[in-house]
Chain A
């Protein structure tokens, strides 16, 4: 299909174009580096708490990258040479000594000036080197479509205690027993039982929806414990478990960044750990049903299955995204979107972030990009075109739910009023979330436009005209469709 899909390693472009945007700008390498003018002391040392994690195992890249973790938790993927120099920095060795050792390891000659260049231009701006010149606020990743408004529910220490306690659940006899048992429960539920009974109970007594809701939230929290436990079982240390807002959805989260250090199988176990704990939760519901015969529990089992299916979506940062990422060995798929589109457009001139991918990984990631870009474009486009209309509907729902909550309280139907209150909160959250998405994307577009047109008046004019055209078109469309009326 494309030139860049054919090859494997070593197809990087000639010249210096395409430095990853996440890396701070380096000084011009063509200029001689003056050792005495460097901010780096004679013998550089790594910043306190920097951890060298080694090779990113089962990588989709050739040659494989290496990983370093800063004390603030930021993981940095880097080339072998940068990593090699980082491993040789110990606060005692001079640049010349590092150069000598690195040359022996590489089988190629590396000079002391070049080591100083690597330290000053590559490692220091990333916050990996201690001493003068180190950035006060080292750069951190700001991924697209990330979780916002995080709140900690279980701090790292507590999450590790929970994970250590639940770790035996990942022994293979336990896994086998759970999977077979859930298979039996599902067969029984689908083949010999009627979910309609539970639905009927729900309709006759809608307040039972509160029970379904509460159990569903508990299932989601337990799901996250599954990720933390799997991470710990694999040999990495899970971080905190918490809650936040993902796009417009309230979500639980677990920080399993340390699983970058694991091999593919252990990373995949971490990804699947949440779904595995959903299965355990389903078994728990089945046992509870056996004891109580409460039909509503069967509905909870069905809902949990739907949540598991939703988790497998690979287009947003649910479990399916991480599963795909670990199968192909590429840690940040969203960061490949721009390089791949750029490489497709450039016809043969391959972005370095794509060039290093093995053929299989490149095909997989390109296919993912070709699916996710149209999908997200359609969703965001639809959101933009219908923004006032969507928010009008959400606002009306919010007002109506609030009124119903008041009515229910007046009639002393407190469970129903609680349900309506949840409805109010979720509808209001959706209003805020949709605006947040649009504002966030607009901000990114403006930054990109300003960057593209920096010191280029003609380009700046083009950006201004395009922005004005888009704004005018949307306003006209919204007004012509009456989206501002009847709020």
Chain B
């Protein structure tokens, strides 16, 4: 086969590829579990938390303002 002739084998290797859409993403806020930071504000004596970082306001008492890791991993 002449070097100047395109062969069918070469044609088979000619490729095309579907590219994904370019979609830039931005998640609004850091207040959901996906960001590993969630705020659970509990007043009036309740102290239930969910999230890796929990914030609780306890009517002037700042015990347990920040606690790490309470089982909510996502």
Contacts and interface: CB of A to CB of B under 8 A. Distances in A.
The answer to whether A and B come from one shared complex is yes
A19 interface: yes
B49 to A, nearest CB: 9
Contacts of A77: 16-17, 19
Nearest to A425: B32
Contact of A108 (B5, B39, B55, B72): B5
Contacts of A364: none
Most buried by A among B2, B8, B25: B25
Interface in A143-162: 143, 146-147
B12 A206 contact: no
A119 to B, nearest CB: 11
A413 B5 CA distance: 80
A95 B40 CA distance: 68
Interface stretch (A172-180, A282-290, A304-312): A304-312
A317 B23 contact: yes
B6 A81 contact: yes
B8 A274 contact: no
A220 B26 contact: yes
Interface residues of B, number: 50
A411 B44 CA distance: 10
A141 B26 contact: no
Interface stretch (A183-191, A211-219, A439-447, A470-478): A211-219
Contacts of B57: 203-204, 206
Contact of B29 (A81, A213, A246, A271): A213
**Main SS class of interface, B:** loop
Nearest to A311: B26
A141 B13 contact: no
A319 B16 CA distance: 26
Contact of A429 (B20, B25, B32, B39): B32
Bin the interface of chain A by size.
35 or more
A460 B69 CA distance: 43
Contact of A249 (B35, B38, B50): B35
A254 B35 CA distance: 21
A223 B26 CA distance: 7
A167 to B, nearest CB: 17
A354 interface: no
A366 interface: no
A181 interface: no
A78 B17 contact: yes
B28 A221 contact: yes
A423 B2 contact: no
B44 to A, nearest CB: 8
A82 B6 CA distance: 13
A217 B33 contact: no
A228 to B, nearest CB: 9
Interface in B27-64: 27-35, 38-44, 46, 48, 50-51, 55, 57, 62
Given A249-B27, A255-B21, 5 more contacts: A251-B28, A255-B23, A413-B43, A426-B38, A430-B32
13 contacts: A16-B13, A26-B12, A81-B14, A82-B16, A108-B4, A108-B5, A114-B11, A117-B11, A274-B26, A307-B26, A310-B35, A393-B50, A400-B50
Interface of A: 12, 16, 19-20, 22-23, 26, 29-30, 65, 67, 73-79, 81-82, 106-111, 114, 117-118, 122-123, 126, 139-141, 143, 146-147, 202-204, 206, 209, 212-213, 216-217, 219-221, 223-224, 227, 246-257, 259-260, 270-271, 274, 303, 306-307, 310-311, 317-319, 322, 331-332, 335, 352-353, 382-383, 386, 389-390, 393-394, 396-397, 400-401, 404, 407-408, 411, 413, 416, 419-420, 422-423, 426-427, 429-430, 433-434
10 tightest A-B contacts by CB? A397-B50, A220-B28, A216-B29, A426-B32, A217-B28, A143-B20, A206-B41, A78-B16, A249-B34, A141-B18
